[in-house]
Chains A and B, each alone.
Chain A
């Protein structure tokens, strides 16, 4: 038996819970080591002191105070705080707030998303000037998923090439300003 094994068995020895063989081995270790014997004896004394400690008593009027606390619990003035209900882990007020925020987010997102047939940006100034709103078809066909509406390119930049070619023949009523433009140092 080494020192560690000895220390592990002290409580079992003092509790008389060692087997006969272990007890013999333990006692032979005690015989061989006076320090070990001293440790066991002083621990037995300490346990004896602990067992002899008087109980700590509550103060006078303990029951009275306890009963008055209980009476306060039972009185109608005291109301048990209601158990807070939660909706998916949120308190109701936060759940409402979160739902509102989520709806607002969806609505704003919907407004920002481009819808089919709506120009994603303002028409180019030139194109807008050359194609007034009156050129747009008056009777638009109904928009449905199976009937994608295609509007004529009047007034809009070509969807094939959105580089806004100003001299494109696709824009019929484009006024020709070329003769009216005079450069400052024009020899004419």
Chain B
């Protein structure tokens, strides 16, 4: 596949459906970090988030023919990731067992975002980031999903409405209430 041509996501999945595996690689490269951001903010666990993103992309591979071009590809892939993340959270809630082995099994190297600011700013930034993550985790799942999709992934209201499968008005209302609740939580943590 020539790299000079910029294909849309929908064109890439169409090519992949026809057997072009390079198109799949391109989709993986486009979506892996976006999905990672979404899922990590959702489940608050790097390893679990990465496993979910892998499962999502694997599902795209195995279920490629299930995609029909009636919706945007991003809507489809975010729906898969969101459903897998919710399922995983439900499973964890049911188990409620702390797996201590997880604390030492990390042999992966995570890329920490490059930061040119000095150490003081970085520490402050990390602290703020932690507060933010904690505040996001305090939100109920249906608020958490929409606020991540809107304010971190910057998706449109229409797209979020398709992903979470609720009417547009409900999405707007949920985002507004989620933001208010997030604001309140951040105030408490500071």
Contact = CB atoms under 8 A, between A and B. Distances in A.
Interface string A164-175: 000000000000
B129 interface: yes
Interface in B153-173: 154, 172-173
A80 to B, nearest CB: 9
B28 A66 contact: yes
A51 B152 CA distance: 6
Contact of B57 (A39, A55, A66): A66
Given A10-B176, A65-B54, A60 B109 contact: yes
A65 B57 CA distance: 11
A62 interface: yes
Interface residues of A, number: 29
A47 B151 contact: yes
A65 B54 CA distance: 8
A57 B36 contact: yes
Counting chain A CB atoms within 10 Å of each CB, the highest count among B25, B57, B179, B182 belongs to B179
A175 B44 CA distance: 99
B143 interface: no
Contact of A10 (B49, B58, B180): B180
Interface string A22-46: 0000000000000000010011001
B113 interface: yes
Interface in A54-69: 54-63, 65-66, 69
A63 B58 CA distance: 11
A42 B183 contact: yes
A49 interface: yes
A69 B179 CA distance: 39
B183 A57 contact: no
B138 interface: no
Contacts of B54: 62, 65-66, 69
Interface string B176-190: 100110110011000
Contacts of A57: 33, 36, 110-111, 113
Contacts of B132: 49-50, 53
Contact of A51 (B28, B40, B108, B151): B151
Contact of B128 (A49, A55, A56, A73): A49
A11 B173 CA distance: 9
A47 B183 CA distance: 9
B179 A55 contact: no
Contacts of B37: 53, 55-56
A22 B55 CA distance: 46
Nearest to A65: B54
A62 B175 CA distance: 32
Interface of B: 25, 28-29, 32-34, 36-37, 40-41, 46, 49-50, 53-54, 57-58, 61-62, 108-111, 113, 128-129, 132, 151-152, 154, 172-173, 175-176, 179-180, 182-183, 186-187
19 contacts: A8-B173, A10-B179, A12-B172, A46-B182, A46-B183, A54-B113, A56-B37, A57-B33, A57-B111, A57-B113, A59-B108, A60-B111, A63-B25, A63-B28, A69-B54, A70-B61, A73-B58, A73-B61, A73-B62
Q: Which 8 A-B pairs have the closest CB atoms?
A: A54-B113, A11-B176, A50-B151, A59-B108, A57-B111, A56-B40, A56-B37, A55-B37
